[in-house]
Amino acid sequence: MSEVKRERIVVCGANAYEQKYYFNEKFAKIPQSLQDELRIICVLYTQEVGGIFTIVFDEEGELIFETQAEEYDITYDEVSSGLLIGEIRRNRAELLESLELYYRVFICGESIDGLLDGEE
């Protein structure tokens, strides 16, 4: 079985400084309800913590949350950021698992049968 070549890919993100939301069109075929949930996660994060928040698949295919703040931003709270990310991971685990499955099957081209067979 050949190894799938992966690259870092941003799914979506929000920017508190510009008050903008970005959604990668490569994921446009996921259900609208999931797209809406991702938007809510990103926008609420930046409203509560500030800065820039992105949901990204890294080169290994892992879903990660990235945060950053402008150097001058004294309102950005790193402690709140970590707590909120932990809460998102716990409360939205099913959504995140669905997004990972979509990524592996539709973006990376992995066989869904192989993925489902590997589940415990």
pLDDT in tens, 55-86: 999 988 899 999 999 998 888 988 999 999 99
pLDDT-derived band at 118 (thresholds 50, 70, 90) equals low
Mean pLDDT, residues 96-115: 85
Going by their DSSP bridges, the two strands 20-23 and 52-57 should be labelled as: unpaired
Which pLDDT score, from 0 to 100, does residue 115 have? 65
pTM for this structure?
0.87
With a cut of 50, say whether residue 43 has pLDDT above it: yes
**Per-residue confidence (pLDDT) for residue 2, from 0 to 100:** 45
44-18-22-48 Cα dihedral, nearest 10 degrees: -10
